[in-house]
């Protein structure tokens, strides 16, 4: 063999694929983590969807409640208006009753005067006749 030339060697054979326990555990761990991540993603997406639907239903309920409150406020305003009209009517009625009472008192006094005059006239007619 020549001094500068090395004899040709056969290339080394590639090592066989060997599965030892650590490799199997790492692959199982990787697959488990991937499945767990997918499960977490699905649960989170479902929770977000449920939260959005709940929020939408609360908004609908809130709008319905607000409409009912507005309706009740309108009814209260209507009742307040009616009460005010009733109070004014009562005040007018009381005023009218007081006017009638004063008129009756005046007529009663006038009737007393007329009775006294009639009694004097009768007494004069009996005494003179």
pLDDT digits (tens, 9 = 90+) for 45-82: 999 999 999 998 888 888 888 889 999 999 999 999 99
Rounded distance, CA 122 to CA 129, Å? 10
Rounded distance, CA 48 to CA 87, Å? 57
- Say which residues have a Cβ less than 8 Å from residue 1's Cβ, sequence separation at least 6: 7
Residue located via tokens 């209260």: 76
H/E segment holding residue 87: helix 21-128
Domain spans in the chain, listed from the N-terminal domain onward: 46-118
pLDDT digits (tens, 9 = 90+) for 2-21: 566 676 777 777 667 777 88
Using an 8 Å Cβ cutoff, are 73 and 66 in contact? no
Banded model confidence at residue 97, pLDDT cuts 50, 70, 90: very high
Q: Which residue has the higher pLDDT, 101 or 17?
A: 101
pLDDT of residue 129: 61
pLDDT digits (tens, 9 = 90+) for 76-96: 999 999 999 999 999 999 999
Banded model confidence at residue 1, pLDDT cuts 50, 70, 90: very low
Q: Which residue has the higher pLDDT, 129 or 78?
A: 78
């Amino acid at each position: 063999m020549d001094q500068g030339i090395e004899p040709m060697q056969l290339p080394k054979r590639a090592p066989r694929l060997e599965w030892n326990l650590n490799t199997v555990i790492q692959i199982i761990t990787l697959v488990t983590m991937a499945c767990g991540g997918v499960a977490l993603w699905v649960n989170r997406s479902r929770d977000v969807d449920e939260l959005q639907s709940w929020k939408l239903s609360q908004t609908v309920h809130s709008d319905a409640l607000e409409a009912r409150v507005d309706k009740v406020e309108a009814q209260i305003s209507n009742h307040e208006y009616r009460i005010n009209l009733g109070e004014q009517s009562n005040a007018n009625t009381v005023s009218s009753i007081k006017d009638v009472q004063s008129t009756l008192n005046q007529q009663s006094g006038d009737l007393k005067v007329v009775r006294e005059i009639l009694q004097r006239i009768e007494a004069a007619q009996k005494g003179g006749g």
